[in-house]
Structure 1
Amino acid sequence: MSPLVDLDAYCERIGYAGPREPTIEVLRALCRLHPAAIPFEAIDVLTGQGVDLRPEAVDAKLIGARRGGYCFEQNSLLARVLRSMGFEVEALIARSRWGRPLDDVRPRTHMALRVLIDGTPWLADVGLGVCTLTAPVRLDLAGPQPTLFDPVRLVPAGEELRLETLLSGEWRPVVDLDLRPQLEADFVGPNWYVSTHPESQFRRHLIVSRATRTARYGLLDNRLAIRPRGAPAEVRLLGVDELIRCLSRDFGLPVSPAWEPALARAATVAV
């Protein structure tokens, strides 16, 4: 089992001051606050630095340096936080289905968490990009379940469970969950693939997202979409200077001069 985490530092990072007990109320609070404070991003992949999943590296980046991260970083951090609070947590692996037809089958490269509370299994996932869950979802219920934003549901997909989200009146697939528990070693290969393979979207695109109480923020290269709760998205195209300001202002990221060549390329993408 990985080392645990500095709970005081984590709670300060996400603005949480409540109890630290293994209850559904605490899990709900963490799933709401974490995505608002720690954005989804893979800028280190885009700039060729790669992603280190050692707990000390994840904590130094997401907590100490106030950066964001992608699913392996986000959910491994949350798993250690939950275990430190006494929760029973299992890591799951999933296949992304978002934004592509179902016959376009890709490797399983997503990490999610199953959290057991009083015998009830909950799905927690703070690393799903623009679909990041802002509330835990019961894995043993088939009908729609609410989150801060769009309803979600879990439907059978062969031997797996498919997470779907309701957008514009249509249920759209997000990921297919393999319900067999995974070990930390099982994510080494997927992390290497996603961070190095030339077909990885994170190698080719600037992708950043954040979910607050009031809106979802999503950045794809130079296209910023802000979707307030219950309202259509507002979309703007950004130049490089606007892009740098956006990363700092809207996503709370400490922009590094080393990012500037990648940001300049992203600002020239025609959307």
Structure 2
Amino acid sequence: MIDLDAYFARIGYDGPREPSLAVLRRLTELHPARIVFEAIDVLLDRGVDIAPEAVDAKLIAAGRGGYCYEQNSLFKRVLAALGFQVEGLLARVLWMAPPDIPTRPRTHMALRVFIDGAPWLADVGFGSCVPTAPLRMDVFEPQATGHEAFRFRRVGPELLLEAQLGEVWQPVYQLGPEPQLEVDYELPNWFTSTHPSSHFRHNLLVAKTTPEARFGLLHNRLTIRRPDGTMERRELAPAEIETTLVETFGLPVEPAWRPLFERAAAAGG
């Protein structure tokens, strides 16, 4: 179900092919540095096909990025092919949401990987705050990564993931414990890619995380955050958005995308 040679070439990995924590750590670091987070097809009303052959054609062969259902379903098949015990999960996204926001549906796909009986969170599809290392899910102390530290807190039967931003712990998402079948992602993917309330329907969002920095584009605002806490931010003209998508994010820009850049510049002010 997955061409490992093509995937490893895509992310620049040439290491061991074994179900070890060291391999999981390396893949979790490399994937979001090479396969960017983006949902441009949603803005173009193309929909998002999460069938394995469609995901592989887009994210591997075509050099595109994708959002969580594409990114983490691909990563799940890679890990399974390497011999990992891996399950899909669903989470309620809380990232940058007001504290009094109504309860949201579970719309984020993440993975639970078991290594020597211990559960680890693996997630390569959470955009601007993607964890760049696997996180032990039965440990409640802060866990360092190459960028922010993360921690889990119990909320009833669920796990709340938080990221440390300066002195503040920011909620990221709340994970349900039940493993999901592949068919369980079809409805939330349809909702996320088509419903008027989905922010992917209205916002140009692109993110890439490397060991050196997190790069994020929201509308026409490019933000670069480094592990030492320094940050750069600037607004882009439509032509600069296209150049940035090519040169910074490595995306193969299509002519059909260009009207989106005009709208993004207008939305960003």
Correspondence 1:110 to 2:108: yes
Correspondence 1:198 to 2:196: yes
Aligned length: 268
Give me the whole-angstrom Cα distance separating, in 2, the residues matched to 1:270 and 1:258: 20
* Aligned position for 1:171: 169
After TM superposition, the structure 1 = structure 2 runs for residues 53-202 of structure 1, keeping only pairs within 5 Å, are 53-104=50-101, 105-202=103-200
Give me the whole-angstrom Cα distance separating, in 1, the residues matched to 2:100 and 2:73: 29
2:219–2:268: 8 Å Cα contact kept in structure 1? no
> Runs of at least 4 residues of structure 1 off by over 3 A?
none
Q: 1:221 aligns with which of 216, 219, 222?
A: 219
Give me the whole-angstrom Cα distance separating, in 2, the residues matched to 1:160 and 1:110: 14
2:146–2:211: 8 Å Cα contact kept in structure 1? yes
Give me the whole-angstrom Cα distance separating, in 1, the residues matched to 2:152 and 2:164: 11
Give me the whole-angstrom Cα distance separating, in 1, the residues matched to 2:107 and 2:145: 24
* Aligned position for 2:47: 50
Secondary structure at 2:139's aligned position in 1? coil
Secondary structure at 2:57's aligned position in 1? helix
Give me the whole-angstrom Cα distance separating, in 2, the residues matched to 1:165 and 1:179: 20
Correspondence 1:27 to 2:24: yes
Amino acid paired to 2:39: A
* Aligned position for 1:240: 238
Give me the whole-angstrom Cα distance separating, in 2, the residues matched to 1:31 and 1:102: 30
Secondary structure at 1:268's aligned position in 2? helix
Q: 2:15 aligns with which of 15, 18, 25?
A: 18
* Structure 1, unaligned runs of 5 or more: none
Q: TM-score, normalised by structure 1?
A: 0.97
* Superposed displacement of residue 102, structure 1: 3.5
Q: Output one character per residue of 1:168-191: Cα deviation in whole Å (capped at 9) or x when no partner.
A: 210000000001100011111100
2:90–2:110: 8 Å Cα contact kept in structure 1? yes
Amino acid paired to 1:200: S
Secondary structure at 1:180's aligned position in 2? coil
* Structure 2, unaligned runs of 5 or more: none
Give me the whole-angstrom Cα distance separating, in 1, the residues matched to 2:155 and 2:39: 29
2:238–2:261: 8 Å Cα contact kept in structure 1? yes
Percent of matched pairs sharing the same residue: 57
Give me the whole-angstrom Cα distance separating, in 2, the residues matched to 1:52 and 1:90: 20
Q: Output one character per residue of 1:133-153: Cα deviation in whole Å (capped at 9) or x when no partner.
A: 100000010000011100000
Amino acid paired to 1:63: I
Secondary structure at 2:179's aligned position in 1? strand
Secondary structure at 2:89's aligned position in 1? strand
Amino acid paired to 1:70: Y
1:12–1:39 Cα change, 3 Å: same
* Superposed displacement of residue 99, structure 1: 1.0
Q: CA RMSD in A?
A: 0.8
Secondary structure at 1:61's aligned position in 2? helix
Q: Output one character per residue of 1:55-105: Cα deviation in whole Å (capped at 9) or x when no partner.
A: 000000000001000000000000000001000000000000011124312
2:238–2:265: 8 Å Cα contact kept in structure 1? yes
Secondary structure at 1:145's aligned position in 2? coil
Q: Output one character per residue of 1:173-213: Cα deviation in whole Å (capped at 9) or x when no partner.
A: 00000011000111111000000011111000000000001
* Aligned position for 1:210: 208
Give me the whole-angstrom Cα distance separating, in 2, the residues matched to 1:238 and 1:246: 9
Secondary structure at 1:181's aligned position in 2? coil
* Aligned position for 1:254: 252
